[in-house]
Amino acid sequence: AQTVTQSQPEMSVQEAETVTLSCTYDTSESNYYLFWYKQPPSRQMILVIRQEAYKQQNATENRFSVNFQKAAKSFSLKISDSQLGDTAMYFCAFRSGYSTLTFGKGTMLLVSP
Amino acid sequence: DAGVIQSPRHEVTEMGQEVTLRCKPISGHDYLFWYRQTMMRGLELLIYFNNNVPIDDSGMPEDRFSAKMPNASFSTLKIQPSEPRDSAVYFCASSFEAVPYEQYFGPGTRLTVT
């Protein structure tokens, strides 16, 4: 069974600074997908970014980028130029093939002025 | 597209009552998922459907929980009888097989059982 571990229950950052959220996973699969979802206080789950394991290039979406280390089974999320609206719970998730998503426990990110 | 629609957004009920949560997936999506989120257990997959057929219900906590998908545009999650420990946020999500790696979530239903 796959497991996803987020070792940081809470993180704080000031506006305009950069923050990195950590995620590690365990799998014996070779082809899989990794995601970061954001859950703001509205509780809506929003997809932030995804990474296909077969792609060596790290995914980027505007201020959000990942550092995907396949051998280390690590998938961290970097948020640049943090904004107040980035305050949310962030979930790392894993999916292999057509299986279901496995979520980590989440990291609460607080962006302060 | 309106996205995944869930109703009600909030439900407060007394222990022992029947609760029905509803979900309308995104049109054209052929997978539908029901999740439960609590502080203690995080996000848990309860059941998922493919083309209206239940594929895996191993996450359903017990026989008090049941889910149906009578057609491609509607699904229900029913709890009967409800208990205080069922209090949680319940999410519905849908995805399209041709893009198997992305699930779209509804806004969730916050259920409180007193």
Mean pLDDT by 10 residues, chain A (113 residues): 91 97 93 93 92 90 96 96 97 83 94 96
**Separation of alpha carbons B3 and B102, rounded Å:** 13
Ranges of residues in chain B with a pLDDT under 70 are 1, 98-101
Q: How many Å lie between the alpha carbon of B15 and the closest alpha carbon of chain A?
A: 25
- At residue B100, the pLDDT reads 55
Query: Do residues A40 and A88 make contact, with C-beta atoms less than 8 angstroms apart?
Result: yes
- At residue B1, the pLDDT reads 63
- At residue B98, the pLDDT reads 62
- At residue B96, the pLDDT reads 86
Q: Does B97 touch chain A (CB under 8 A)?
A: yes
- At residue B99, the pLDDT reads 58
The Cα-based distances of B99 to A48, B3, B95, B96 in angstroms read: 16, 16, 7, 5
Q: Which two tokens stand for residue A53?
A: 């394991």
Q: Say whether A27 sits in a helix, a strand or coil.
A: coil
SS3 content of chain A, % helix, strand, coil (to 5): 5, 50, 45
- At residue B2, the pLDDT reads 79
- At residue A2, the pLDDT reads 80
Question: Which candidate from A33, A91, A106 shows the least CB-CB separation from B101?
Answer: A33
Chain A residues with a Cβ under 8 Å from any Cβ in chain B? 33, 35, 37, 42-47, 50, 52, 91, 95, 97-98, 100-101, 103-106
Q: Which two tokens stand for residue B44?
A: 């848990």
Q: Which residues of A touch B100 (CB under 8 A)?
A: 95, 97-98
- At residue B105, the pLDDT reads 94
